[in-house]
Structure 1
Protein backbone atom coordinates (compact mmCIF):
# COMPACT_ATOMS: atom_id res chain seq x y z
CA UNK A 1 0.00 0.00 0.00
CA UNK A 2 2.98 2.27 0.40
CA UNK A 3 3.22 2.15 -3.42
CA UNK A 4 -0.15 3.91 -3.46
CA UNK A 5 1.20 6.76 -1.33
CA UNK A 6 -0.09 5.63 2.08
CA UNK A 7 2.22 6.29 5.02
CA UNK A 8 3.18 3.64 7.55
CA UNK A 9 0.64 4.77 10.14
CA UNK A 10 -2.21 4.61 7.63
CA UNK A 11 -1.15 1.12 6.56
CA UNK A 12 -0.94 -0.04 10.19
CA UNK A 13 -4.38 1.38 10.97
CA UNK A 14 -5.87 -0.29 7.88
CA UNK A 15 -4.27 -3.66 8.73
CA UNK A 16 -5.60 -3.52 12.29
CA UNK A 17 -9.11 -2.48 11.15
CA UNK A 18 -9.26 -5.28 8.56
CA UNK A 19 -7.92 -7.76 11.13
CA UNK A 20 -10.82 -6.84 13.40
CA UNK A 21 -13.32 -7.38 10.56
CA UNK A 22 -11.75 -10.76 9.73
CA UNK A 23 -11.81 -11.79 13.41
CA UNK A 24 -15.49 -10.80 13.66
CA UNK A 25 -16.34 -12.82 10.55
CA UNK A 26 -14.52 -15.90 11.84
CA UNK A 27 -16.09 -15.64 15.29
CA UNK A 28 -19.65 -14.70 14.35
CA UNK A 29 -20.31 -15.89 10.78
CA UNK A 30 -19.84 -18.93 8.59
CA UNK A 31 -17.29 -19.28 5.82
CA UNK A 32 -15.94 -19.41 3.34
CA UNK A 33 -14.55 -15.92 3.77
CA UNK A 34 -13.21 -13.61 1.11
CA UNK A 35 -11.11 -10.45 1.28
CA UNK A 36 -11.73 -8.00 -1.57
CA UNK A 37 -10.12 -4.70 -2.55
CA UNK A 38 -11.84 -2.17 -4.81
CA UNK A 39 -10.60 1.19 -5.96
CA UNK A 40 -12.87 4.14 -6.58
CA UNK A 41 -11.87 7.62 -7.69
CA UNK A 42 -11.45 8.69 -4.05
CA UNK A 43 -10.94 5.55 -1.95
CA UNK A 44 -9.63 2.05 -1.67
CA UNK A 45 -12.41 -0.13 -0.27
CA UNK A 46 -11.50 -3.28 1.62
CA UNK A 47 -14.30 -5.79 2.18
CA UNK A 48 -14.46 -8.94 4.28
CA UNK A 49 -17.22 -11.16 2.89
CA UNK A 50 -18.79 -14.05 4.81
CA UNK A 51 -21.75 -16.37 4.22
CA UNK A 52 -24.04 -15.00 6.91
CA UNK A 53 -26.43 -12.37 5.51
CA UNK A 54 -27.34 -11.00 8.96
CA UNK A 55 -26.03 -7.50 9.61
CA UNK A 56 -24.84 -7.21 13.23
CA UNK A 57 -26.27 -4.60 15.54
CA UNK A 58 -24.13 -1.49 15.28
CA UNK A 59 -23.18 -0.16 18.72
CA UNK A 60 -23.69 3.54 19.43
CA UNK A 61 -20.43 5.40 19.27
CA UNK A 62 -19.77 8.34 21.58
CA UNK A 63 -16.97 10.77 20.89
CA UNK A 64 -14.18 10.32 23.38
CA UNK A 65 -15.58 7.09 24.77
CA UNK A 66 -13.01 4.90 23.04
CA UNK A 67 -9.81 6.37 24.43
CA UNK A 68 -10.65 7.99 27.75
CA UNK A 69 -7.90 9.94 29.48
CA UNK A 70 -5.78 7.94 31.86
CA UNK A 71 -4.98 9.24 35.32
CA UNK A 72 -2.06 11.62 35.59
CA UNK A 73 -0.70 14.04 33.03
CA UNK A 74 -1.22 11.78 30.00
CA UNK A 75 -4.33 11.57 27.87
CA UNK A 76 -5.62 8.55 25.97
CA UNK A 77 -2.52 6.89 24.50
CA UNK A 78 -0.96 3.51 23.83
CA UNK A 79 -1.83 2.39 27.36
CA UNK A 80 -5.50 3.23 26.76
CA UNK A 81 -5.41 1.45 23.37
CA UNK A 82 -3.87 -1.68 24.93
CA UNK A 83 -6.55 -1.69 27.62
CA UNK A 84 -9.21 -1.37 24.93
CA UNK A 85 -7.71 -4.16 22.83
CA UNK A 86 -7.61 -6.49 25.83
CA UNK A 87 -11.40 -6.45 26.14
CA UNK A 88 -13.67 -8.59 24.01
CA UNK A 89 -16.55 -7.09 22.10
CA UNK A 90 -14.73 -3.91 21.09
CA UNK A 91 -13.86 -4.82 17.49
CA UNK A 92 -16.31 -2.44 15.83
CA UNK A 93 -15.31 0.33 18.24
CA UNK A 94 -11.72 -0.16 17.13
CA UNK A 95 -12.68 -0.23 13.45
CA UNK A 96 -14.69 2.96 13.93
CA UNK A 97 -11.80 4.76 15.61
CA UNK A 98 -9.16 3.62 13.11
CA UNK A 99 -11.25 4.51 10.05
CA UNK A 100 -12.75 7.76 11.31
CA UNK A 101 -16.20 6.23 10.85
CA UNK A 102 -15.62 5.21 7.20
CA UNK A 103 -16.88 1.62 7.50
CA UNK A 104 -20.07 -0.37 7.41
CA UNK A 105 -21.88 -3.47 6.18
CA UNK A 106 -23.72 -4.29 2.99
CA UNK A 107 -25.84 -7.26 2.03
CA UNK A 108 -24.97 -9.30 -1.00
CA UNK A 109 -26.77 -12.33 -2.44
CA UNK A 110 -27.00 -14.58 0.63
CA UNK A 111 -23.86 -13.05 2.13
CA UNK A 112 -22.69 -9.79 3.65
CA UNK A 113 -19.62 -7.64 3.37
CA UNK A 114 -18.06 -5.63 6.17
CA UNK A 115 -16.08 -2.78 4.59
CA UNK A 116 -13.69 0.03 5.36
CA UNK A 117 -12.88 2.95 3.08
CA UNK A 118 -9.34 4.31 2.89
CA UNK A 119 -9.17 7.75 1.27
CA UNK A 120 -6.53 7.85 -1.45
CA UNK A 121 -3.58 10.07 -0.50
CA UNK A 122 -3.28 13.29 -2.48
CA UNK A 123 -0.15 12.33 -4.40
CA UNK A 124 -0.91 13.72 -7.83
CA UNK A 125 -0.43 10.27 -9.38
CA UNK A 126 -3.04 7.80 -10.41
CA UNK A 127 -3.27 4.40 -8.73
CA UNK A 128 -0.90 2.70 -11.18
CA UNK A 129 1.75 5.42 -10.89
CA UNK A 130 1.52 6.41 -14.57
Structure 2
Protein backbone atom coordinates (compact mmCIF):
# COMPACT_ATOMS: atom_id res chain seq x y z
CA UNK A 1 0.00 0.00 0.00
CA UNK A 2 1.27 3.45 -0.88
CA UNK A 3 1.61 5.93 1.96
CA UNK A 4 0.06 9.36 1.43
CA UNK A 5 2.41 12.25 2.15
CA UNK A 6 2.04 15.99 2.00
CA UNK A 7 3.88 17.89 -0.71
CA UNK A 8 1.88 21.08 -1.09
CA UNK A 9 -0.98 22.54 0.94
CA UNK A 10 -4.12 20.54 0.26
CA UNK A 11 -2.33 17.45 -1.12
CA UNK A 12 -4.03 14.32 0.19
CA UNK A 13 -2.34 11.58 -1.77
CA UNK A 14 0.64 11.17 -4.08
CA UNK A 15 1.43 8.14 -6.23
CA UNK A 16 3.59 6.97 -9.11
CA UNK A 17 3.12 4.61 -12.03
CA UNK A 18 4.44 1.82 -9.76
CA UNK A 19 1.81 2.31 -7.06
CA UNK A 20 -0.60 -0.63 -6.93
CA UNK A 21 -4.30 0.30 -7.25
CA UNK A 22 -4.04 4.07 -6.73
CA UNK A 23 -7.74 4.63 -7.43
CA UNK A 24 -8.76 2.55 -4.39
CA UNK A 25 -6.34 4.37 -2.09
CA UNK A 26 -7.44 7.74 -3.49
CA UNK A 27 -11.09 6.86 -2.83
CA UNK A 28 -10.30 5.96 0.78
CA UNK A 29 -8.23 9.08 1.45
CA UNK A 30 -10.74 11.38 -0.26
CA UNK A 31 -13.74 9.87 1.54
CA UNK A 32 -12.05 10.43 4.92
CA UNK A 33 -11.14 14.02 4.02
CA UNK A 34 -14.61 14.94 2.74
CA UNK A 35 -16.26 13.30 5.74
CA UNK A 36 -14.05 15.27 8.13
CA UNK A 37 -15.07 18.45 6.27
CA UNK A 38 -18.74 17.70 6.99
CA UNK A 39 -19.81 17.16 3.39
CA UNK A 40 -23.21 15.48 2.86
CA UNK A 41 -23.09 11.73 2.21
CA UNK A 42 -24.46 11.85 -1.35
CA UNK A 43 -21.98 14.58 -2.31
CA UNK A 44 -19.16 12.49 -0.84
CA UNK A 45 -20.21 9.38 -2.76
CA UNK A 46 -20.56 11.25 -6.06
CA UNK A 47 -17.29 13.13 -5.53
CA UNK A 48 -15.33 10.02 -4.58
CA UNK A 49 -16.57 8.13 -7.63
CA UNK A 50 -15.88 11.06 -10.01
CA UNK A 51 -12.42 11.69 -8.54
CA UNK A 52 -11.64 7.96 -8.72
CA UNK A 53 -12.31 8.09 -12.45
CA UNK A 54 -9.91 11.05 -12.83
CA UNK A 55 -7.25 9.19 -10.81
CA UNK A 56 -7.67 6.09 -12.98
CA UNK A 57 -7.48 8.16 -16.17
CA UNK A 58 -4.32 9.95 -15.04
CA UNK A 59 -2.70 6.67 -14.00
CA UNK A 60 -3.54 4.99 -17.29
CA UNK A 61 -3.01 7.80 -19.80
CA UNK A 62 -0.55 10.34 -18.34
CA UNK A 63 2.93 10.55 -16.85
CA UNK A 64 3.51 10.76 -13.10
CA UNK A 65 4.14 11.41 -10.39
CA UNK A 66 0.53 12.23 -9.60
CA UNK A 67 -1.21 14.12 -6.80
CA UNK A 68 -4.75 14.29 -5.45
CA UNK A 69 -5.52 17.51 -3.61
CA UNK A 70 -8.42 19.52 -2.20
CA UNK A 71 -8.96 23.23 -1.89
CA UNK A 72 -11.95 25.06 -0.51
CA UNK A 73 -13.70 28.12 -1.90
CA UNK A 74 -16.68 29.90 -0.38
CA UNK A 75 -19.15 27.77 -2.35
CA UNK A 76 -17.42 24.47 -3.07
CA UNK A 77 -14.62 22.01 -2.52
CA UNK A 78 -12.37 21.62 -5.55
CA UNK A 79 -10.81 18.19 -5.93
CA UNK A 80 -7.81 18.17 -8.26
CA UNK A 81 -5.75 15.40 -9.87
CA UNK A 82 -2.35 16.55 -11.12
CA UNK A 83 -0.34 14.62 -13.69
CA UNK A 84 2.75 15.47 -15.71
CA UNK A 85 1.34 15.20 -19.21
CA UNK A 86 0.44 18.63 -20.59
CA UNK A 87 -1.98 17.24 -23.18
CA UNK A 88 -5.65 17.70 -22.40
CA UNK A 89 -7.59 14.64 -23.55
CA UNK A 90 -10.19 14.87 -26.26
CA UNK A 91 -13.45 15.34 -24.44
CA UNK A 92 -16.23 13.41 -26.15
CA UNK A 93 -19.50 15.07 -27.05
CA UNK A 94 -21.98 14.43 -24.29
CA UNK A 95 -25.32 13.13 -25.50
CA UNK A 96 -28.55 14.58 -24.18
CA UNK A 97 -29.32 11.32 -22.40
CA UNK A 98 -27.78 9.14 -19.71
CA UNK A 99 -24.49 7.45 -20.65
CA UNK A 100 -26.07 4.09 -19.83
CA UNK A 101 -29.15 4.55 -21.99
CA UNK A 102 -29.08 2.71 -25.32
CA UNK A 103 -29.08 4.82 -28.45
CA UNK A 104 -32.50 4.83 -30.12
CA UNK A 105 -31.10 3.06 -33.17
CA UNK A 106 -29.61 0.33 -30.93
CA UNK A 107 -32.80 -0.51 -29.02
CA UNK A 108 -33.59 -4.14 -29.67
CA UNK A 109 -30.23 -4.44 -31.42
CA UNK A 110 -29.30 -7.78 -29.94
CA UNK A 111 -26.12 -8.94 -28.24
CA UNK A 112 -23.71 -6.57 -30.03
CA UNK A 113 -25.72 -3.49 -29.00
CA UNK A 114 -25.93 -4.81 -25.42
CA UNK A 115 -22.16 -5.43 -25.28
CA UNK A 116 -21.49 -1.91 -26.58
CA UNK A 117 -23.80 -0.46 -23.92
CA UNK A 118 -22.13 -2.43 -21.13
CA UNK A 119 -18.58 -1.77 -22.31
CA UNK A 120 -16.26 -0.68 -19.49
CA UNK A 121 -14.27 1.65 -21.74
CA UNK A 122 -14.93 5.14 -23.03
CA UNK A 123 -17.54 6.44 -20.60
CA UNK A 124 -15.38 7.73 -17.76
CA UNK A 125 -15.71 11.43 -18.53
CA UNK A 126 -19.43 10.94 -19.17
CA UNK A 127 -19.71 9.53 -15.66
CA UNK A 128 -17.68 12.44 -14.21
CA UNK A 129 -19.96 14.86 -16.08
CA UNK A 130 -23.11 13.22 -14.71
CA UNK A 131 -21.86 12.97 -11.11
CA UNK A 132 -20.68 16.60 -10.99
CA UNK A 133 -23.59 18.13 -12.95
CA UNK A 134 -21.00 19.42 -15.41
CA UNK A 135 -18.77 21.07 -12.77
CA UNK A 136 -15.42 19.65 -13.91
CA UNK A 137 -12.65 20.35 -16.37
CA UNK A 138 -8.94 20.64 -17.03
CA UNK A 139 -6.40 23.40 -16.53
CA UNK A 140 -2.78 23.62 -17.57
CA UNK A 141 0.08 23.98 -15.08
CA UNK A 142 2.91 25.70 -16.91
CA UNK A 143 3.88 23.70 -20.02
CA UNK A 144 4.60 20.41 -18.31
CA UNK A 145 1.50 19.32 -16.42
CA UNK A 146 -2.27 19.50 -16.20
CA UNK A 147 -4.90 19.28 -13.52
CA UNK A 148 -8.23 17.53 -13.93
CA UNK A 149 -10.70 18.97 -11.42
CA UNK A 150 -14.20 18.51 -10.09
CA UNK A 151 -16.20 20.97 -7.98
CA UNK A 152 -18.28 19.63 -5.10
CA UNK A 153 -20.87 22.10 -3.79
CA UNK A 154 -20.92 22.86 -0.09
CA UNK A 155 -24.73 23.07 -0.39
CA UNK A 156 -26.74 20.55 -2.41
CA UNK A 157 -27.45 21.63 -5.97
Deviation per residue, 1:73-124 (Å, 9 max, x gap): xxxxxxxxxx9675212110110010000000000021000000011127xx
Tell me, in whole angstroms, the C-alpha distance in 1 between the residues paired with 2:56 and 2:63.
Answer: 12
2:57 to 17, 24, 46: 24
Unmatched 5+ stretches in structure 2: 1-33, 103-115
CA root-mean-square deviation: 2.0
Mapped contact 1:84–1:90 kept (Cα < 8 A): no
- Residue 43 of structure 2 corresponds to residue 10 of structure 1: yes
- 1:64: how far off? 1.2
Deviation per residue, 1:42-82 (Å, 9 max, x gap): 1110000000000001111122141327xxxxxxxxxxxxx
Quote the residue 1:77 is aligned against. none
SS at match of 2:138: strand
Mapped contact 2:101–2:117 kept (Cα < 8 A): no
Q: TM-score, normalization: structure 2?
A: 0.64
Tell me, in whole angstroms, the C-alpha distance in 2 between the residues paired with 1:102 and 1:60.
Answer: 15
1:116 to 146, 150, 153: 150
Tell me, in whole angstroms, the C-alpha distance in 1 between the residues paired with 2:131 and 2:82.
Answer: 20
Which structure has more RCO (C-alpha within 8 Å, separation ≥ 6)?
1
Misfit runs of 4+, over 3 Å: 2-5, 83-86
SS at match of 2:148: strand
- Residue 46 of structure 2 corresponds to residue 46 of structure 1: no
Unmatched 5+ stretches in structure 1: 70-82, 123-130
1:57 to 54, 78, 90: 90
Residues 1:84 and 1:3: Cα distance change in structure 2 (over 3 Å): farther
Quick check: which one's helix share is greater?
A: 2
Quote the residue 2:69 is aligned against. 36
